[in-house]
């Protein structure tokens, strides 16, 4: 059921228009509809229905009219009786007058908030509900007058919206002025509309007409507002000036300086959605620039004409613009070019060619791509600027806001995107920064409270990214969704192998600011990646590619090209961990092979602690096995169980990390212990890397068992030769460290240690760097105590990053020696006690604990004496 009172009173059911009968049932329905959903008192209904001469039995008469109305409506329940009066049981939205008032209010709000396009749509819809004069066939003059006033106000607001859009209808405004001759607001709109169409003389005459009428009718002068419009017309200010900004401008000093330093006539600010290109352009443009917002436009030239306050003529729009701008020294800001990129490029080319004093500052998610264009990328904000922006915007909604570490986390997680940061800051009104940070894994649901006055595509984080997505071709969307599967970016090879798209499509995503290209890799901002990954996943193909890469890389990490392969795996670290996570759930058997292939890389990188959780998850899914792969997994997940598995293994060894796990977790071999089958198999290996490793091990054993320094040095040098022939830096560093231990010359020991450090530095082996730095400090203790202290501190820091507790304990023990030598036993004790706290499981920890305990006992004895 729908009731209409904006014209003759009508009622419509699903079956069509209802015959309401005579004037009184229609009047009664109108009175109830005006207050739909509310109880209208009996006495008010009687007064409105019968006026000053009600019938003798007014209550019965009213009840009779209600009965007639109920019969006409065909549903008695629509008109409810209550002790206090009657109520029309319909939602207000089913009465055209209420619908009109609601739409008109929303339209005025949109206009006030800077959205003239939205305002025009809402106000037009509201005014289309009118079918003639309000309450045209019933005698309710007061109500009709009030509704007509609302109608007039909405019509004026619609005119204001169209003026802001540069498309006001002069004839329509003139008609409104004739109906409301003393309305100065409408007079001002008429002047603005005439001025926009280049009819300046008529606009000035309209002001004189208004001045004369106001003097004659009211004896007053035009209002300050109308005089301001008159002055604007006199000055010829017809172009759309830069929008005033309501918040402070934060950061971007580097970009502003670059723009100011450029002499190019066309500068295009490029970057992803939400990076702040528009705000930067407004800040850089300065007063007098002409602002052309292309976001809502369908025609670049037409939008530029509107911004200049020009109407189209018989001339082509480009030629009309040339006539207007040829002699002007001005800056055009073409904002949001990306969805009309080809058209914007053509117009820019035309204007720059025909108007020698015109300069253009464009913003776009991709370059215009014309001769003479200078690009100024607008990257995300740096961490400090990001937090400053977050704090500034947070204080607007929460004056008590104080920046904290969670604000730093939020800005980092949001990639430094200004819009995302501002949306997050708006949430500080109701959430703590810790709560916001915890919810960013669902950022598109969280960051929805944007500026209502902003364009719809800038009101939520999802809308920002969706705008870019909608501008992509099908191939570009497919590649973007595929590339979003990569958690750590991708190389060109990976893109081509996994995504099966050509370089041209990838270049298009780079050009459109969806993908960043740097150092031979292609990455997405996390916000963009999260959005695109919702459209397609290629986890199986992704995992297969990186499993094959790990398998190819593993042997190369023990050869001359190990630095390049280590760097390659390091670049793919996040993707490799992602592949492990996926295969663990999808195919634990494949995941076990992947762990085996990556074990040596993880060891060199110092990532064993990082992947321990993933290793334990996989271990829980697999049956017990006596294989190399399972042993490697145990070394990562439950190292205390490795010894029993090593004893059960038979050769030949395919994954040399097994030997590293053996040495690392079992400790130096006991010469008196019975030999195992695995030892015999390893001794027979023809693998040159394993031969080098065994030579290194034998040298250590020779020295430990017999004290034959000469033989141990000879064996070490042979092992070193094998590693150096392979070009293998890790093994070379291990042997060099043994040689440094074996030599009796302190200077040579230091030189050998430095040589070992250079090898592992080149490789980037984190654990060895920390351990060798600590041993360098040991060897410096009696040469340069201050330098030894610096090396211990470096070792301590490196070991903390790598999770090497035994190395940290040794470094603290070394620092304790220095403190004791300097006469500070209390500090020495503190450091040794800290070292004790670091130690746990394993032979290495046991050996270090013994060393620390001895040092602590000696310290206490010395202090007691």
Q: Find the angle CA(353)-CA(357)-CA(359) to the nearest 5 degrees.
A: 80
Which residue from 702, 694, 682, 742 is spatially nearest to 719, judged by alpha carbons?
Answer: 694
Contact 633, 626 (CB under 8 A): no
Could you give the CA distance from residue 749 to residue 740 in angstroms, rounded to a whole number?
A: 4
Average pLDDT over residues 189-212: 83
Q: Is the pLDDT of residue 347 over 90?
A: yes
Q: How confident is the model at residue 651 (pLDDT cuts 50, 70, 90)?
A: low
CA dihedral 180, 182, 185, 187 (to 10 degrees): 90
Q: What is the mean pLDDT of residues 22-35?
A: 89
Q: What is the pLDDT of residues 807-839, one digit of tens each?
A: 888 999 999 999 989 989 899 889 988 888 887
> If you average pLDDT over every residue of the chain, what do you get?
84
pLDDT at 84 > cutoff 70: yes
- Which helix (H) or strand (E) covers residue 333, if one does? strand 330-335
Give the range with max mean pLDDT: 132-146, 164-178, 325-339.
132-146
Render pLDDT for 572-612 as a digit per residue (tens, 0 to 9): 998 999 999 999 999 999 999 999 999 989 888 878 778 88
CB 40 within 8 A of CB 31: yes
- pLDDT tier at 119, thresholds 50, 70, 90: confident
Residue 644 CB partners (closer than 8 Å, separation 6+): none
- Is the model's pLDDT at 450 over the cut of 60? no
pLDDT reported for residue 237: 47
> Quick one: pLDDT band at residue 453, thresholds 50, 70, 90?
very low
Alpha helices, H only, 638-784: 642-648, 657-666, 677-683, 688-706, 709-726, 729-742, 746-763, 766-780
Convert the pLDDT of each residue in 484-538 to its tens digit: 889 888 898 998 899 988 888 888 888 877 888 888 888 888 778 888 888 888 8
Point out the least confidently predicted range of 15-29, 95-109, 316-330, 721-735.
316-330
| Tens digit of each residue's pLDDT (9 = 90 or more) over 425-440 | 878 877 888 888 888 7
**pLDDT grade for 207, boundaries at 50, 70 and 90:** confident
Please state the rounded mean pLDDT for residues 537-546. Answer: 92
140-175 pLDDT, tens digit per residue, is 888 999 999 899 889 888 888 888 777 788 888 888
Q: Tell me how far apart the alpha carbons of residues 163 and 778 are, in angstroms, rounded to a whole number.
A: 81
Taking the CA of residue 26 as centre, how many other CA atoms within 13 Å lie in the half-sphere pointing to its CB?
20
Enumerate the β-bridge partners of residue 293: 335
496 DSSP 8-state letter: I
pLDDT computed for residue 379 by the predictor: 86
Average of per-residue pLDDT across 470-491 = 87
Please identify which residue in the block is written with the tokens 């405004």.
173
For the record, the structure tokens of 407 come out as: 């604000």
Which residues, including other chains, have CB under 8 Å from residue 46's CB and lie 6 or more apart? 54, 58, 59, 61, 62
Higher-confidence position of 228 and 325: 325
Q: Which of 501, 524, 494 has its CA nearest to residue 512?
A: 524
pLDDT of residue 200: 75
Question: Averaged over 347-373, what is the pLDDT?
Answer: 90
pTM above 0.85, yes or no: no
User: How do residues 733-776 score in pLDDT, each as one tens digit?
Assistant: 989 999 998 898 999 999 999 999 999 898 888 888 999 999 99
DSSP at 12: E
pLDDT at 678: 64
pLDDT class of 314 with cuts at 50, 70, 90: low
The distance in angstroms from the start CA to the end CA of the chain is 103
Residue in the block written with tokens 């690009």: 375
Residue with tokens 């949109």: 110
Q: What is the pLDDT of residue 101?
A: 92
What is the pLDDT averaged over residues 254-282?
87
Please, are residues 305 and 167 in contact by the beta-carbon 8 Å criterion?
Answer: no
């Amino acid at each position: 059921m729908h009731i209409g009172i904006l014209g003759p009173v009508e009622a419509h059911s699903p079956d069509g228009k209802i015959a309401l009968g005579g004037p009184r049932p229609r009047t009664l329905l109108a009175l109830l509809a005006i207050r739909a959903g509310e109880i209208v008192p009996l006495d008010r209904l009687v007064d409105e229905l019968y006026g000053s001469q009600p019938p003798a039995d007014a209550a019965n008469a009213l009840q009779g009219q209600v009965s007639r109305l109920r019969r006409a409506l065909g549903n008695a329940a629509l008109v409810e009786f209550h002790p206090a009066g009657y109520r029309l049981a319909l939602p207000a939205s089913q009465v055209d007058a209420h619908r009109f008032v609601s739409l008109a209010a929303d339209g005025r709000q949109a206009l006030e908030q800077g959205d003239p396009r939205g305002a025009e749509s809402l106000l037009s819809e509201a005014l289309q509900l009118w079918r003639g004069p309000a309450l045209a066939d019933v005698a309710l003059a007061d109500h009709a007058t009030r509704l007509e006033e609302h109608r007039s106000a909405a019509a004026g607001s619609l005119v204001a919206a169209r003026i802001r859009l540069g498309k006001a209808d002069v004839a329509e405004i003139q008609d409104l002025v004739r109906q409301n001759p003393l309305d100065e607001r409408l007079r001002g709109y008429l002047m603005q509309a005439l001025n926009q169409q280049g009819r300046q003389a008529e606009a000035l005459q309209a002001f004189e007409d208004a001045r004369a009428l106001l003097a004659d009718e009211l004896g007053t002068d035009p209002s300050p507002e109308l005089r301001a419009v008159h002055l604007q017309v006199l000055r010829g200010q017809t172009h759309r000036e830069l929008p005033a900004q309501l918040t402070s401008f934060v950061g971007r000093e580097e970009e502003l300086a670059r723009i100011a330093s450029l002499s190019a006539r066309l500068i295009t600010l490029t970057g992803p959605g939400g990076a702040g290109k528009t705000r930067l352009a407004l800040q850089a443009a300065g007063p007098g620039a002409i602002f052309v917002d292309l976001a809502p436009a369908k025609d670049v030239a037409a939008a530029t004409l509107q911004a200049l306050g020009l109407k189209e003529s018989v001339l082509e729009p480009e030629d009309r613009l040339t006539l207007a701008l040829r002699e002007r020294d001005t800056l055009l800001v073409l904002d949001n070019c990306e969805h009309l990129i080809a058209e914007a490029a053509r117009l820019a080319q035309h204007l720059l060619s025909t108007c020698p004093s015109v300069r253009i500052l464009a913003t776009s998610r991709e370059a215009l791509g014309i001769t003479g264009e200078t690009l100024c990328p607008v990257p995300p904000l740096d961490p400090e600027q990001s937090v400053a922006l977050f704090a500034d915007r947070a204080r607007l909604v929460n004056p008590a806001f104080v920046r904290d570490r969670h604000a730093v986390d939020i800005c980092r997680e949001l990639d430094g995107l200004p819009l995302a940061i501002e949306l997050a800051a708006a949430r500080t009104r109701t959430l703590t920064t810790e709560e916001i940070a915890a919810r960013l894994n669902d950022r598109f649901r969280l960051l929805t409270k944007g500026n209502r006055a902003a364009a719809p595509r800038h009101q939520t984080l999802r809308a920002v990214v969706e705008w870019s997505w909608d501008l992509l071709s099908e191939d570009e969307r497919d590649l973007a969704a595929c590339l979003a599967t990569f958690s750590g970016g991708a190389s060109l090879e990976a893109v081509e192998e996994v995504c099966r798209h050509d370089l041209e499509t990838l270049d298009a995503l780079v050009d459109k600011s969806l993908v960043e290209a740097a150092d031979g890799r292609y990455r997405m901002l996390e916000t963009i990646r999260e959005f695109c990954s919702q459209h397609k996943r290629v986890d199986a193909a992704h995992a297969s590619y990186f499993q094959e890469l790990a398998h190819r890389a593993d042997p190369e990490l023990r050869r001359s090209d190990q630095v390049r392969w280590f760097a390659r795996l390091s670049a793919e670290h996040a993707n490799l961990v992602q592949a492990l996570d996926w295969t663990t759930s999808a195919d634990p058997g494949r995941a076990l092979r992947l762990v085996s292939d990556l074990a040596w890389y993880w060891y060199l990188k110092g990532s064993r602690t990082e992947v321990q959780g993933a290793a334990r998850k996989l271990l829980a899914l697999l049956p017990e096995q006596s294989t190399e792969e399972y042993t490697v997994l145990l070394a990562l997940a439950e190292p205390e169980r490795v010894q029993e598995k090593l004893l059960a293994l038979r050769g030949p060894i395919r994954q040399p990390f097994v030997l590293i796990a053996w040495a690392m977790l079992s400790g130096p071999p006991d010469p008196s212990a019975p030999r195992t089958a695995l030892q015999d198999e390893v001794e027979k290996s023809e693998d040159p890397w394993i031969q080098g490793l065994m030579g290194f091990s034998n040298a250590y054993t020779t020295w430990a068992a017999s004290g034959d320094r000469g033989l141990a040095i000879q064996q070490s040098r042979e092992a070193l030769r094998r590693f150096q022939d392979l070009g293998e830096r890790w093994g070379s560093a291990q042997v060099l460290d043994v040689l440094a231990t074996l030599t009796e010359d302190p200077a040579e020991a230091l030189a050998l240690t430095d040589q070992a450090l250079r090898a592992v530095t080149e490789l980037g082996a984190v654990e060895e760097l920390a351990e060798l730095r600590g041993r360098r400090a040991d060897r410096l203790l009696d040469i340069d105590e201050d330098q030894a202290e610096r090396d211990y501190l470096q070792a301590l820091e490196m070991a903390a990053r790598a999770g090497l507790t035994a190395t940290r304990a040794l470094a603290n023990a070394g620092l304790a020696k220095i403190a004791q030598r300097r006469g500070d036993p209390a500090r020495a004790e503190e450091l040794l006690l800290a070292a004790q706290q670091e130690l746990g499981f394993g032979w290495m920890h046991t050996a270090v604990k013994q060393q620390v305990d001895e040092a602590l006992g000696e310290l206490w004895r010395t202090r007691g004496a």
